Structure 1
Amino acid sequence: MILHAVETFTHEQIRDLQLIRLQQTVQHVYKNVSFYQKKLFEHNLLPSDIHFLDDIKKLPFTTKKDLRDHYPFGMFALSPNEIVRLHASSGTSGKPTVVAYSKNDIDMWGGIVARAISMAGGKQGEVLHNAYGYGLFTGGLGLHYGSETLGMMTTPVSGGNTDRQIQLIQDFQPTVICGTPSYMLNIAEKMKEMGVDPKETSLKYGIFGAEPWSEEMRHTLEKTFDIKACDIYGLSEVIGPGVAMECHEAQDGLHVAEDHFYIEVIDPNTGEVLPEGEEGELVFTSLTKEAMPVIRYRTGDIASIKKERCICGRTSTKMSRVKGRVDDMLIVRGVNVYPSQIEHVLLKIEEVAPHYQIVIQKDKSLDSMEVFVEAKMEHYDKQMLEKKIERALHSSCYVQLKVSIVPPKTIPRSEGKAVRVIDKRQVTV
């Protein structure tokens, strides 16, 4: 195991470094981004008012709406001739969020992701199979550059063409595979159809993310492939994958790259910073990005943080695995439920496969929710199994949900992010 020096900094050392970089970043955006100039003016702040790291609480939040309101290039802090790459979100709920990178940003990002891959078990000279999508999505290229920076032989397969994926896994003998957890289930299912045992491949480690996934999903993937499955976290607005990463030794929280990002957890309703250990909305400030730094970016992701020395030797702050998103929370008869909580229950039930969808629709004046789950076997007692799952969901989530068992291989498979929730409610004016 090779640790980067900064990963073992003391709490005081990392805070000293973060303060210097925060002051530089605030000065940079104040000078070059009109949005932040206006925001600081509205808060009666100047860059010189940031004397201590805790002064970050004085700074305004940045939201996805702010990025969309300044589409496409209004948040950039460098001139066009200094920017070498653009990425963007899908824009499924409005205009996409566009992010920019300088050459230094790309190099820095590659180093961050190299550290992340190393945490997960990747080593120089071994083969990494990258099944994340390439293109405007940051996942594919983020892992690609990190893998090359680490010195791994990198296979840029991207998503889809599952038969080809399996052939290359057999031929190239990778030790590390990257992709969404739901697509890994798809690969495993296809392997079994082809007579290939997923346990018998060369794979040792998996780096999975881009969608919330439960501990039960981790256990399913590890048992299916006989690998260590580690969670990677990131989002394009901050930089992309690599913001935080689980180590394969502990698999107990994700180490934040604190030399590049400052993490906070806030109450999503009040914006107040929450103490260590309390669950809330993650907020990140980029400390080293040149082309498009963000100050106190509200991610919408729900998690908590803790500060402790890990068994792997790292001292960096850990964030818990993401429970869900603020806007993904489902309200069923006044009770808050995240899809990951439902997954947590379903994957404990042996008779069903790890494929499900939650459908919401209007039932007269009320919203109704139904959970569709695939049976694992061709023959089963449908009514008995549905009742069993309904009782388990009620016991764990404290809500009464209707469950419908569907035959094997009925629910659509994913080649990227899985569609877990389908909202069929009609908006009426």
Structure 2
Amino acid sequence: MIWNQQYETMPRDELRKLQLLRLKQLVENVYHRVPFYRDAFDKAGVKPEDIKSLDDLKRLPFTYKQDMRDNYPFGMFAVPQEQVVRIHASSGTTGKPTVVGYTARDIDTWAELMARTVSAAGVGRGDILQNAYGYGLFTGGLGAHYGAEKVGASVIPISGGNSKKQLMLLKDFGSTAISCTPSYALSLYETAVEEGVKREDLKLKVGIFGAEPWTEAMRQEIEAKWQIDAVDIYGLSEIIGPGVGYECIEEKRGMHISEDHFIVETINPDTGEVLPAGEEGELVFTTITKEAIPLIRYRTRDITRLITDPCRCGRSFVRMNKVTGRSDDMLIIRGVNVFPSQVEAIIVTKAELSPHYLLIIDRVDNLDTLEIQIELAEGIFMDRISRLQELSRSVEKEIKDMIGVTCKVRIVEHKTIARSEGKAQRVLDRRKL
């Protein structure tokens, strides 16, 4: 289902004209209202009147997460405080949180973007969405909530965790859709098996999953176990929250980016050079309709590639592939760049193993070591030591061959690795770097 035909199917030439108009308004606005951007523009030797085409975007400076922290809490706001009706903040593990604000119009825009997102997943009037994203300062819960209500769906604002109650409501309320992280969807399934919840007693038909990278193989596992469609969504608090990109249930081949609200680029993360569409690089977003805290060329650190081929669903927006990792979350182990999602892509090909794993990095005698703990799949019991050793060696070899790093694989019993009700914790780095 296409929620907004006017914009989601807008011809590309009209879309680019709209983007340029809004970009010019944006740079004029931030130059005069945000001291940070006035200084950044002056240092770059560029003025608002210099932006005459979309190609001129690359003349503008990048914005970094650290810039937002340096201007904590409200230094990046482009409107007076009395116009800000909502404040969210990131749950960053280091440094000060990243603060984002919303005007009333920003909230309406966010709801519109999430309406497109849930509609693309086939959710609309008459559906019941069980929203298991976290509410509070995290943007996920409220973003999904308002979008689902806008399309006329009933929303259960259960938030994350409390798996037994989640299952009870799935059954008793007849939830037809669920939104949460993909890792929690698998964890919830394990609880369903333990509690004896039968699939035929549920009306669930689709899952809207995001907030962490996940592989195509993980999608297939979720769909097979829950017997639902699993669609991917993309967003980040700094840009607006969830709703920046969304898969259509018809194709599931890349996430449509709402280009009437965002200009997207991919760059070489080392040089900042803008890359042609189709080449893998770091995502960079410019928000061209946000009022409270508009951002210019924000470096997300998310690594992916853009797809410009038309989608058969009829939407004209450019699409992005699944995020393969983050440039700042990238692990460098003995000079080799490693993303946890690369390891996951190997693990999920093994029927005996589950997608629950932990990468443990340490430094012994000045050399990095990597141990990967992987759980056995549900119902699998390895009572033969020789089979465990054979399986471990097989995974070790594939990781060495495909990623280029030597590791030690240790297979552990099912449900040994701690579960997370939010983003899965995949890495334990014990090095003092």
Greater alpha carbon shift after TM alignment, 293-302 vs 405-414 = 405-414
Greater alpha carbon shift after TM alignment, 92-101 vs 196-205 = 196-205
> Could you list the runs of 5+ residues in structure 1 that have no partner in the other structure?
none
1:229-279 per-residue CA deviation (whole Å, 9 max, x = no partner) reads: 111100001100000001111111100000000000000011010001000
Q: How many pairs does the alignment contain?
A: 427
> Could you list the runs of 5+ residues in structure 2 that have no partner in the other structure?
none
| Percent of residue pairs bearing the same amino acid type | 52
Cα pair 2:124 2:148 within 8 Å, conserved:
no
For residues 18-417 of structure 1, what are the structure 2 equivalents within 5 Å? 18-198=19-199, 201-376=202-377, 377-380=380-383, 381-417=387-423
**CA positional deviation for 1:378:** 2.6
**CA positional deviation for 1:200:** 5.2
CA distance 1:199–1:374, shift in 2 (3 Å): farther
Greater alpha carbon shift after TM alignment, 403-412 vs 371-380 = 371-380
CA distance 1:40–1:199, shift in 2 (3 Å): farther
3-state SS of 1:15 partner: helix
Greater alpha carbon shift after TM alignment, 233-242 vs 386-395 = 386-395
3-state SS of 2:393 partner: helix
Give me the whole-angstrom Cα distance separating, in 2, the residues matched to 1:200 and 1:154: 20
CA distance 1:199–1:18, shift in 2 (3 Å): farther
Cα pair 1:308 1:316 within 8 Å, conserved:
no
Give me the whole-angstrom Cα distance separating, in 2, the residues matched to 1:318 and 1:198: 33
**CA positional deviation for 1:287:** 0.7
3-state SS of 1:328 partner: coil
Give me the whole-angstrom Cα distance separating, in 2, the residues matched to 1:210 and 1:2: 23
Equivalent residue letter for 2:364: D
**CA positional deviation for 1:399:** 2.5
Greater alpha carbon shift after TM alignment, 94-103 vs 197-206 = 197-206
Give me the whole-angstrom Cα distance separating, in 1, the residues matched to 2:18 and 2:392: 55
TM-score, normalised to structure 2, is 0.97
Equivalent residue letter for 2:55: D
**CA positional deviation for 1:407:** 1.1
Give me the whole-angstrom Cα distance separating, in 2, the residues matched to 1:200 and 1:339: 35
Give me the whole-angstrom Cα distance separating, in 1, the residues matched to 2:55 and 2:176: 42
Give me the whole-angstrom Cα distance separating, in 1, the residues matched to 2:399 and 2:105: 49
Give me the whole-angstrom Cα distance separating, in 2, the residues matched to 1:156 and 1:3: 22
Equivalent residue for 2:426, pick from 405, 408, 420: 420
Equivalent residue letter for 1:360: I
**CA positional deviation for 1:364:** 1.4
Cα pair 2:2 2:116 within 8 Å, conserved:
no
Give me the whole-angstrom Cα distance separating, in 2, the residues matched to 1:40 and 1:198: 57
Equivalent residue letter for 1:73: F
Does 2:8 correspond to 1:2? no
**CA positional deviation for 1:331:** 2.3
**CA positional deviation for 1:366:** 1.1
Give me the whole-angstrom Cα distance separating, in 2, the residues matched to 1:2 and 1:329: 36
Superposition RMSD on alpha carbons, in Å?
A: 1.2
**CA positional deviation for 1:91:** 2.8
**CA positional deviation for 1:396:** 2.6
Give me the whole-angstrom Cα distance separating, in 1, the residues matched to 2:152 and 2:401: 48
**CA positional deviation for 1:392:** 2.4
Greater alpha carbon shift after TM alignment, 286-295 vs 386-395 = 386-395
Cα pair 2:370 2:406 within 8 Å, conserved:
no
Give me the whole-angstrom Cα distance separating, in 2, the residues matched to 1:338 and 1:91: 19
CA distance 1:401–1:197, shift in 2 (3 Å): farther
3-state SS of 1:151 partner: coil
3-state SS of 1:308 partner: coil
**CA positional deviation for 1:3:** 4.6
TM-score, normalised to structure 1, is 0.97
**CA positional deviation for 1:199:** 6.5
Cα pair 1:282 1:303 within 8 Å, conserved:
yes
